[in-house]
Amino acid sequence: MNIVTPRRPSGFPEYLPADQIEFNRMLSVIAEVYNLFGFTPVETPAIELAEVLLAKGGGDTEKEIYRFTKGEKEYALHYDLTVPLARYVSEHQNDLAMPFRRYQIQKNWRAERAQKGRFREFVQCDVDVIGSNSVLHDAEIVSVVSNVFDRLEIGKYIIRISNRKLLAGFVEAIGLESKTNDVLHLVDKLDKIGSDALTVELEKIRLTKEDTEQIIDFVSITGSPKEVLEQLEGLSIENTIFKSGMSEMQELLFTLTAANVKPDCYSFDLRIVRGLDYYTGTVYETNLIEFPEFGSVCSGGRYNDLTKYYSTADLPGVGISIGLTRLFAALQEVNKISNKIASPSRVLITQFGNKKVLARAVEVASELRAKMINTQVYLDEAKLDKQFKYADKLGVPYVIVIGEAELESNKLVLKNMSTGDQSVVTLTEVVELLEI
């Protein structure tokens, strides 16, 4: 037999059980919060028709797309969840209640250059509201993100919020309308390059020193959200786009306050622009306070015309995406993934070859499972010592031992694997202890 070395292509992560369990816990938290806000789950095929997936053209991403021909069709694996959402909403719009609130947690594929923190297969957790212009949805998205990161328990975070209309309106107001896109793209780099380099870059696109200073001053406004809005008002900018952005930010703040979103978990930050051209209003990025080097772990914003390549319907939307594969890898890197439990079992029941003991072990397991207690029976012939080692390797918290004496007395020996405490108990007592 010719043995092939078992291996994966680079950029395609997979986890050992303990990490997979922790990864799944994080996925469940995210899905639970999305459900909590009444977003409905959607799943689209991994494979789309290339002609449909690439309707808008792939731009820079196009060469990263996995595409192939099979039979007479050309197919492509989706590289994000936004294009499939646009296709889904367009295809099914007559069957969906609008506004359509959906979440989608799936793998995506991009043939990026393999490097640390970059994956070719990665899970994104997207949540969007389609079919409404109301900025109240934009505010709710902040509540969703805040709820997710509170429950993930990976430390303090800050949701940085802006509205592209503010900077765009300001740039227009100072007479630089023709350079709006360039300015927004450059400001988007500010976090990475710093304000000195931004100054150089702005001068490269032929802004005067004064204009450059004005822009740097504008995006450097800080303070509480209320203070930021007050300072912006103080600028007395007479520009329709800017004013529209102001009123949206005011409504956003009003709603966040009403919803009791903790004030220390979000900020109004004019440096947030999001590079992608399709954002048209509110934009978000989220950083972990303890790990600024991770960059934004949850980003998004409001966009118009999601479906313009597939439908003439006017369907604006707002949403965010959490890149869980990337976040998880970053947390592993800083040793923040500490789960060592490699089994969902709450208890392992040992047994010896004796048929009566086996029968009792299997019966006890059935009764525990009927109470929804995850239970494993050791089903191979092995010394008790080996069975305990196995439980220990899996990280199972409790072990039940049944011997001849316990068969007689109809009791069980229960061992707490972390304390080493051992006691003789009834099945009812085990259920009371382990029931959730």
The answer to the question of residue 250 lying near its own copies (CB under 8 A) is no
DSSP state of 93: G
Q: Judged by CB under 8 A, which stretch of 107-115, 163-171, 181-189, 200-208 contacts its own copies?
A: 107-115
What residues between 145 and 204 interact with its own copies by CB under 8 A? Answer: 147
What residues between 42 and 101 interact with its own copies by CB under 8 A? Answer: 42-49, 51-52, 55, 66-68, 70-71, 73, 75, 77, 86-88, 90-92, 95-97, 99, 101
Q: Considering the complex, what minimum distance in angstroms separates the CB of residue 149 from its own copies? A: 15
Q: Judged by CB under 8 A, which stretch of 171-179, 201-209, 283-291, 353-361 contacts its own copies?
A: 353-361
The answer to the question of residue 335 lying near its own copies (CB under 8 A) is no
Q: 331: which 2 tokens?
A: 């947390």
Q: Considering the complex, what minimum distance in angstroms separates the CB of residue 187 from its own copies? A: 29
Q: Considering the complex, what minimum distance in angstroms separates the CB of residue 186 from its own copies? A: 29
- Residue identified by tokens 């306050």 is 257
The answer to the question of residue 309 lying near its own copies (CB under 8 A) is yes
The answer to the question of residue 348 lying near its own copies (CB under 8 A) is yes
Find all residues with CB under 8 Å of 133, minimum gap 6, and list them: 316
Q: Considering the complex, what minimum distance in angstroms separates the CB of residue 399 from its own copies? A: 12
Separation of alpha carbons 380 and 382, rounded Å: 6
What residues between 387 and 426 interact with its own copies by CB under 8 A? Answer: 390, 393-394, 396
Q: Judged by CB under 8 A, which stretch of 169-177, 207-215, 232-240, 375-383 contacts its own copies?
A: 375-383
Q: Considering the complex, what minimum distance in angstroms separates the CB of residue 425 from its own copies? A: 20
Minimum CB distance to its own copies smaller for 183 or for 327: 327
Instruction: Give the length of the chain.
Output: 436
Separation of alpha carbons 424 and 318, rounded Å: 57
Out of 280, 304, 311, 332, point to the residue binding its own copies (CB under 8 A). 311
Separation of alpha carbons 132 and 317, rounded Å: 6
Q: Looking only at Cα atoms, what is the longest distance across the chain?
A: 92
Q: 268: which 2 tokens?
A: 């109004």
DSSP H stretches of helix in 276-403: 324-333, 355-370, 384-394
Minimum CB distance to its own copies smaller for 73 or for 209: 73
- Residue identified by tokens 């047994």 is 351
Separation of alpha carbons 387 and 305, rounded Å: 60
CA distances from 226 to 159, 267, 301, 336, 352 (A): 15, 10, 21, 34, 69
Q: Considering the complex, what minimum distance in angstroms separates the CB of residue 59 from its own copies? A: 16
C-alpha neighbours within 13 Å on the C-beta side of residue 165: 18
Q: Considering the complex, what minimum distance in angstroms separates the CB of residue 48 from its own copies? A: 7
